[in-house]
């Protein structure tokens, strides 16, 4: 019956109008908006004749924004009447003065009238607040949806998640919202996962991003080009370029053609690692697929060449770029300034900096920081300070990194009081020094032995941080946020986290690591261990640097047992290779070679590089005295890892030398050289010295020749010891002569006393030869006389 009445009213309405054009419909709507109260019932008969264009036109033409908002909310209930144009138009209206206030008034009126609203009308509000940078208001809008009897849909969840994922401090809250989304049976879509993965990778949390990717594919959502690009960028940022390259090819095989963003990300990843041969190979492959090298790609390649010290090639590429009319931007100018600075061309870097405004590229803080850092590294501290003052007078105001660079440089040069002056200048300007600035000064104070002052500075950082909030956030985990979101207290959770984020000068783990290091070096291990407890009570998690510093400190004062207890007490850091290497080094110094090898095998097992069966096989080889076989098997497995390190084997080699087991050390050296694994100069020194002492001179010469082949320059003492040892034998003078010639070619300043000794030895040998020859001639003459 209702449908018949509705149809009749529509027929009557349009039987009087011969032309139902878009313009006529818009006029009718505007007339209703001007006269009818409420507008919704009067608009219903027009629904079949409305289009999304009409909605946009009416909102644009109507002078009363509040009525425009009400019309948009009414129309947006129908999906076919929604459009990007009307959505963007409404965001512009909301961004104007009092726009959001009027919108809220409209929502309140509708609620009072019993008119339901759709989640779409909150989506536009959240998006508007996000555009204006009002993250808190965006979260508040999301939290108030329940007041209006409105359930968020996937698009609304996506909008608020995007706001939260912009800062790492809100990640816990974002995932609480994501959990609520799942509980409400609101299925996440590809964009949801894209937002979460993008936020995680930008903060370097690639393992979490990978988990989200696996969750997405597990739900049957296939990744698109954007999702692949996010992961490729993240993997490259972490340095896992091989995984990124595999994903790139997987993307192509899945039918998703990589765009310039994905190509540039992969190219940049290889450039950042200095793998320029592969970077240029990739470029040629991309160009075959139609990729055009632009500013971003050129910047990556120039940066990569500079990182490898290939400055001439980098500047040559820059000239080619300019000839192709690719104009530089502030990012490339910063790269060029850094390149010039590292090449020792500080004056050219300063000229480029001063010429940037005339090119229409105002230098930013990064540009100034690059030059200031270069000046500091050259010891030109006054010039750096002058540039710092000049920078203060421009729009590129000094940031926390500028202050940190200057404070670090002053402290490094022993000018701690000057560093304190710079630090105090920050406070005089009414600003709060950043955490890196605090850390730099605390480090300087520790290194100058002023531990009391360093500790006072730590207390200064802690002022203003409510410990209860920090503890609650640190120890309650995600469950508290889940409960707050579920109970509708999302805004409170957000404000708590915002308060945490605003307390920017609170000590971080770096602060505590600097202080712990200072206490350890001063021999106050108990003080360092107390700081470990304090930082944990503050809700901070010790990292590998914390444990490495403490383990070294405990070993230095002979508290070996406590060092191992600390190591085994924390599961989280068993995976840190730095901690394992530190324990290996100390074990080797105590001549506990087996313990050192076991530690590294334990690490390889933890990262799933070594299974139990293979580990047992290697251990049996060690027990049976088949050390070489065990070593080769271990290296074979270890070198398969992308993050392979030669350091454990170097530690082992030095340990064998320290234990006097030079035959085994020589075997390790031979295997490493065969496998093209670097044997470090300190390892070679230990080996040469020990072999000479045991009169294994041929082996010592072989090791020394390795150092010459690899352009290592050893200390004169060990070189002289080797040459002296050789000169003490009768049959190796020629070997010494050849070695000295090679040493001179390598830039060694051969000891004059030793050279004199060698010349004396050679003359003595020559005279002996001449005497022998004359004696032989004399004997021959006597024989001839006898025969006659």
Give the whole-angstrom CA distance, residue 655 versus residue 592.
8
Give the residue ranges of the chain where pLDDT is below 50. Answer: 1-20, 464-479, 500, 572-574, 753, 766-767, 769-773, 775, 777, 782, 785-788
Quickly count: other Cβ atoms within 10 Å of residue 635's Cβ: 20
Give the whole-angstrom CA distance, residue 146 versus residue 488.
8
Give the whole-angstrom CA distance, residue 648 versus residue 599.
10
Q: Is the pTM of this model over 0.75?
A: no
Residue 451's alpha-carbon distances to 104, 380, 507, 523, in angstroms, are 56, 28, 16, 12
Task: Give me the pLDDT at residue 477, please.
Answer: 45
Evaluate whether 281 touches 311 at the Cβ level (below 8 Å): no
Secondary element (H or E) of residue 514: helix 509-521
Closest CA to 745 of 697, 779, 708: 708
- The full 3-state SS of 713-765, as one line of letters, equals CCCHHHHHHHHHHHHCCCCCHHHHHHHHHHHHHCCCCCCHHHHHHHHHHHHHH
Evaluate whether 252 touches 220 at the Cβ level (below 8 Å): no
Closest CA to 61 of 95, 103, 97, 25: 25
Give the whole-angstrom CA distance, residue 705 versus residue 505.
54
Query: Which residues have CB under 8 Å from 4's CB, separation 6+?
Result: none
Evaluate whether 124 touches 102 at the Cβ level (below 8 Å): no
CA atoms within 13 A on the CB side of 147: 15
The two three-digit tokens of residue 379, written as one number: 């010891």
Going 426 to 427 to 431 to 434, the CA torsion angle's sign is positive
Give the whole-angstrom CA distance, residue 374 versus residue 339.
10
Residue 129's alpha-carbon distances to 94, 134, 142, 161, 534, in angstroms, are 8, 5, 11, 13, 40
Can you give the residue ranges of every domain in the chain? 22-117
- Respond yes or no on whether the N-terminal peptide bond of residue 38 is cis (omega within 30° of 0): yes
Task: Give me the pLDDT at residue 543, please.
Answer: 82
């Amino acid at each position: 019956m209702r449908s018949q009445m509705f149809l009749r009213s529509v027929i009557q309405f349009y039987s009087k109008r011969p032309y139902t054009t878009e313009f006529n419909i818009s006029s009718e709507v505007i007339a209703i908006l001007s006269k009818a109260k409420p507008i919704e019932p009067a608009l219903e008969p027009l629904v079949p004749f409305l289009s999304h264009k009409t909605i946009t036109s009416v909102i644009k033409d109507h002078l009363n924004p509040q009525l425009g908002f009400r019309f948009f909310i009414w129309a947006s209930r129908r999906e076919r009447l929604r459009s990007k144009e009307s959505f963007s138009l409404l965001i512009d209206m909301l961004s104007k003065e009092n726009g959001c206030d009027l919108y809220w008034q409209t929502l309140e009126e509708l609620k009072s009238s019993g008119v339901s609203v759709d989640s779409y009308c909150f989506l536009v509000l959240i998006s508007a607040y996000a555009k204006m940078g009002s993250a808190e208001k965006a979260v508040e809008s999301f939290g108030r949806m329940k007041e209006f009897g409105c359930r968020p849909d996937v698009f609304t969840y996506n909008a608020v998640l995007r706001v939260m994922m912009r800062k790492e401090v809100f990640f816990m809250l974002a995932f609480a919202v994501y959990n609520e989304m799942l509980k409400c049976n609101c299925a996440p879509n590809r964009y949801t996962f894209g937002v979460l993965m993008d936020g995680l990778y930008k903060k370097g949390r690639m393992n979490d991003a990978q988990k989200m990717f696996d969750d997405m594919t597990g739900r049957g959502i296939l990744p698109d080009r954007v999702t692949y690009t996010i992961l490729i960028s993240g993997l490259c940022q972490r340095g896992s370029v091989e995984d990124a390259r595999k994903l790139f090819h997987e993307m192509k095989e899945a039918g998703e053609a990589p765009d310039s963003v994905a190509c540039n990300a992969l190219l940049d990843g290889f450039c950042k690692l200095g793998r320029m041969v592969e970077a240029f190979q990739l470029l040629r492959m991309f160009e075959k697929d139609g990729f055009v090298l632009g500013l971003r790609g050129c910047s990556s390649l120039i940066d990569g060449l500079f990182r490898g010290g290939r400055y001439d090639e980098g500047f040559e590429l820059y000239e080619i770029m300019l000839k192709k009319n690719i104009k530089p931007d502030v990012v490339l100018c910063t790269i060029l300034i850094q390149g010039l600075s590292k090449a020792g061309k500080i004056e050219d870097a300063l000229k480029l900096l001063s010429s940037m405004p005339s090119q229409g590229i105002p230098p930013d803080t990064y540009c100034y920081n690059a030059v200031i850092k270069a000046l500091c590294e050259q010891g030109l501290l006054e010039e750096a300070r002058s540039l710092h003052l000049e920078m203060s007078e421009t729009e590129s105001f000094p940031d926390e990194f500028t202050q940190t660079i200057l404070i670090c440089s002053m402290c490094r040069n022993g000018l701690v009081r000057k560093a304190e002056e710079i630090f105090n200048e920050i406070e005089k300007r009414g600003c709060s020094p950043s955490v890196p600035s605090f850390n730099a000064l605390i480090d300087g104070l520790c290194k100058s032995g002023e531990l009391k002052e360093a500790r006072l500075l730590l207390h200064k950082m802690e002022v203003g941080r409510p410990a209860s909030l920090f503890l609650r956030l640190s120890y309650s985990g995600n469950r508290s946020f889940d409960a707050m979101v579920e109970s509708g207290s999302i805004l409170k959770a957000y404000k708590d986290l915002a308060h945490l984020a605003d307390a920017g000068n609170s000590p971080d783990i770096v602060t505590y690591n600097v202080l712990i290091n200072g206490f350890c070096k001063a021999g106050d291990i108990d003080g360092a261990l107390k700081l470990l407890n304090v930082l944990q009570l503050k809700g901070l998690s010790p990292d590998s640097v914390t444990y490495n510093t403490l383990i070294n400190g405990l070993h230095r004062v002979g508290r070996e047992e406590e060092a191992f207890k600390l190591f085994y007490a924390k599961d989280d850091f068993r995976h840190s290779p730095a901690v394992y290497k530190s324990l290996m080094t100390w074990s080797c110094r105590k001549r506990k070679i087996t313990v050192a090898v076991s530690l590294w095998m334990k690490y390889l097992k933890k990262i799933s590089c070594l299974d139990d069966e293979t580990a047992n096989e290697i251990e049996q080889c060690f027990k049976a005295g088949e050390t070489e076989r065990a070593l080769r098997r271990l290296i074979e497995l270890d070198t398969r890892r992308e993050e392979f390190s030669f350091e454990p084997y170097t530690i082992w080699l030095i340990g064998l030398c320290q234990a006097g087991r030079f035959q085994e050390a020589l075997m390790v050296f031979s295997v490493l050289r065969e496998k093209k694994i670097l044997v470090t100069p300190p390892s070679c020194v230990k080996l040469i010295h020990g072999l000479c002492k045991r009169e294994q001179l041929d082996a010592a010469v072989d090791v020394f020749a390795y150092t010459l082949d690899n352009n290592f320059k050893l200390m004169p003492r060990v070189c002289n010891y080797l040459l002296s040892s050789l000169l003490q034998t009768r049959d190796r003078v020629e070997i010494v002569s050849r070695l000295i010639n090679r040493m001179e070619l390598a830039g060694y300043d051969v000891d004059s006393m030793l050279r004199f000794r060698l010349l004396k030895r050679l003359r003595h040998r020559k005279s002996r030869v001449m005497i022998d020859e004359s004696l032989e001639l004399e004997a021959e003459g006597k024989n001839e006389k006898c025969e006659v």
